[in-house]
Amino acid sequence: MAHKQDVLELLMDDHREAERVYAAYEATRDLARRRALAQQLVAWTVRHVAAREAHLHPALVRSLPDGELTVAAWPARRAAVEATVRDMEAADPTTAAFDNAVQALMGWIQGHITEEETETFPRLRTALTARERFDLGARAEQARRRALDPGPGVLDRLRAWLTRG
């Protein structure tokens, strides 16, 4: 199947997916469903971060005058979301601690979405050609797929992502 999105469209579609999953989480009181939706948010985060780090970060550094500063700030932001995910994974899904961790994760995601869509993406849309955005989109899509490849070791990759130091 041919890739049909530029990287900015792809990542904005990712953003809408996270918002839909969280809305479904908020709409249900079924604990098993809430746990499954929370796990989808974690999987979304892993896929999105993999695509961002592998393909958007180099484009930021290459294309924006302050791209290196933007990328340099990322490890602290990533550490914050990783800590939140670890809190969520450690909490019993029947407790307020679990719900608070999911809400904190979505708070991080919402802040991330706002920053990308209002600051970063408009600047990249101007700095990159349509062809560059399309090429990045194809590579980012591959990174997203590999991040949670259902083959052997997917849980090990998730664990490694969560424990990166």
Which one, of 128, 5, 108, lies nearest residue 49 by Cα? 108
Q: Using pLDDT thresholds of 50, 70 and 90, give the confidence band for residue 157.
A: low
Query: Among 79, 119, 97, which residue's Cα sits nearest to residue 38?
Result: 97
pLDDT at 158: 57
Q: Is 29 left (phi over 0), alpha (psi -120 to 50) or beta?
A: alpha
Where residue 43 falls among pLDDT bands split at 50, 70, 90? confident
**Interval 115-150: pLDDT, tens:** 999 999 999 999 999 999 999 988 888 877 776 655
pTM of the model: 0.82
Whole-number mean pLDDT of the chain?
85
**pLDDT for the residue 46:** 81
Residue with tokens 């990174």: 143
d(CA 134, CA 2): 11
The pLDDT of residue 155 is 46
pLDDT tens-digit series, residues 9-42: 988 998 999 999 999 999 999 999 998 899 889 8
